[in-house]
Amino acid sequence: MDPGLVAAAVFLILAGAPALWVAALERIRARARIAFWRQAAGEAGLSGIEASGDGLTACSGSLRVRLSSYHEREERGTCVEVWSPRLAPNLTLRAEGLGTFLGGRDRKEIEVGDEDFDRQVSVRGTPALALALLDPEMRRTVRAMLRGRLVVRGHSPLWASGRLEEGVLRIDVPARSSFARGRPVRHSEEPEPAGDAYLDGEYKLPAILRAALDLAARLVVPEDLPRRIASNLAGEPEPRVRQRAFLTLLREFPEHAATREALAAAREDPDADVRVRAGIALGADGRDVLLGVAGGEGAEDATSARAVAALAASLTVGRAAELLKSALRTRRLGTARACLGILGRHGSDATPILARVLLVERGELGEAAAEALGATDDPSAEAPLVRALSEGPKELRRAAAAALGRVGTRDAVAPLREAESRQAALRGVARQAIAEIHARLAGAAQGQLSLAGAESGQLSLAEDESGRLSLTGKGVRS
């Protein structure tokens, strides 16, 4: 410390001027801090070191660095800020707050697909940039930094916390706590929270500066953004991250060579959902991929159902029946429902298959089979539906009644009336089905709804030429 300033402070004390003494001491501390920062910056290899106001600025290549003091609650220390025009512009990485923890996640935030990372880190900015920069190693580094540990590649972590705010990397280096000396080092993966007793301190500032510069260099925008995202895909262990990266490439860089390469590689991805998305994007060239997933190759039910739905237009009755048989055997109910829906679009060719399913299944698949039989527009579907109407459980009977409204003939009216009288829960759907059958048989014009009992007591709601509704029946006119 400058002996002259010390002597001046002592003189001011003796002279009884405490305010001037305090100001003098603050100037002494400020000069000492600047000198300390200057030495640390030099040891870290920074250049262009200059005092600036109450701080110090320097640079390392294109990176700019500023050192200043911070005082938050009971913690004091040195704030290191690093920025450059290409350092993650507009990207923010910070710890999630209590509102997010309680379910109030901001819809503006980006989820990269890593469940633990997304739960602990708030990410804002451009999805493509986030996915390009946040590879597995960087996600681990960011999580540790937000908890108070600055990871140094090849060395032990340092006690310093940080965050990225709108492209500015900020590292807070707390002064060493007075009671940390002699405290045993913890060897847990979870660091002590910021504000606790630190085993490092500002005396580690040169090492922290080097670590901050290394981290900042890794946060610079890559020259070829889609190429970096595609490269990350190859070493990404999290399926949901791969999904998001893959979809981002397809959405934002559809013509880039890296996207085409990623698309080809995704055909063999270990995650079935990624393969489905690749198969859909590949069009006709991805049909074999979709067929494999639809058959249950390492896929969850929802994923194989999505593959079936994507194949809908190209599936023959025979192939859809094969997929249905496989889904029924493995009890993949969502996939089976998707197959039944597709078979219903094939008309009379699929009626025997659907009828067999309706005969065996009594749960949701039976209901789906009844609905598919109604979609066939095949009169021969009436017999199995009438049987289900009389023998099945309540929900299946409702589905059968609704389907009979689409394919039933005059012979279906009596069973529907019987079902209506026997079970109140079927009254509405049975009456609607009877009305649809009579309207179809009578050739009701568009805009008419026929609500019929016996033919002699026919009742209809029809729209006249003026657009008004009229209620007509035998012996009744309005």
Residue that wins the pLDDT comparison between 454 and 260: 260
pLDDT at 471 over 50: no
Task: Please name the residues in contact with 418: beta carbons below 8 A apart, sequence gap of 6 or more.
Answer: 390
Task: Give the pLDDT confidence of 90-111 residue by residue, as tens digits.
Answer: 999 999 874 444 444 455 789 9
Residue that wins the pLDDT comparison between 196 and 58: 58
Number of domains in the chain: 1
What gap in Å lies between CA 228 and CA 135, rounded to an integer? 10
Task: Give the pLDDT confidence of 274-286 residue by residue, as tens digits.
Answer: 999 999 998 889 9
User: In this predicted structure, what is the pLDDT of residue 2?
Assistant: 54
Residue that wins the pLDDT comparison between 26 and 81: 81
How much is the average pLDDT of 151-173?
A: 88
User: In this predicted structure, what is the pLDDT of residue 70?
Assistant: 87
pLDDT at 177 over 90: no
User: In this predicted structure, what is the pLDDT of residue 97?
Assistant: 76
168 assigned to some structural domain: yes
pLDDT at 328 over 60: yes
Q: How far is CA 388 from CA 271, 315, 382, in A?
A: 40, 28, 10
463 assigned to some structural domain: no
424 assigned to some structural domain: no
**Which structural domain, as residue segments, surrounds residue 128?**
3-178+192-218
To the question of pTM greater than 0.75 for the whole model, the response is no
pLDDT class of 335 with cuts at 50, 70, 90? very high
242 assigned to some structural domain: no
Task: Give the pLDDT confidence of 7-22 residue by residue, as tens digits.
Answer: 655 555 555 556 665 5
Q: Dihedral sign, CA of 261, 266, 268, 270? A: positive
Residue that wins the pLDDT comparison between 73 and 82: 82
pLDDT at 393 over 70: yes
pLDDT at 424 over 80: yes
What gap in Å lies between CA 391 and CA 385, rounded to an integer? 10
User: In this predicted structure, what is the pLDDT of residue 464?
Assistant: 42
Residue that wins the pLDDT comparison between 387 and 297: 387
What gap in Å lies between CA 450 and CA 448, rounded to an integer? 6
23 assigned to some structural domain: yes
How much is the average pLDDT of 372-400?
A: 93
Hunting for tokens 């998001």 — which residue is that?
A: 244
Task: Give the pLDDT confidence of 131-143 residue by residue, as tens digits.
Answer: 999 999 999 999 9
How much is the average pLDDT of 189-207?
A: 58
233 assigned to some structural domain: no
Task: Give the pLDDT confidence of 11-51 residue by residue, as tens digits.
Answer: 555 555 566 655 666 677 778 889 999 999 999 999 999 99
364 assigned to some structural domain: no
How much is the average pLDDT of 62-89?
A: 91
How much is the average pLDDT of 286-296?
A: 93
78 assigned to some structural domain: yes
What gap in Å lies between CA 110 and CA 465, rounded to an integer? 57
User: In this predicted structure, what is the pLDDT of residue 450?
Assistant: 42
Mean pLDDT, the chain, integer: 83
pLDDT class of 190 with cuts at 50, 70, 90? very low
Is residue 342 within 8 A of residue 313, CB to CB? The reply is: no
User: In this predicted structure, what is the pLDDT of residue 98?
Assistant: 43
Is residue 27 within 8 A of residue 2, CB to CB? The reply is: no
Task: Give the pLDDT confidence of 217-250 residue by residue, as tens digits.
Answer: 999 999 999 999 999 998 999 999 999 999 999 9
- Helix 205-218 / helix 136-147 crossing angle, nearest 10 deg: 140
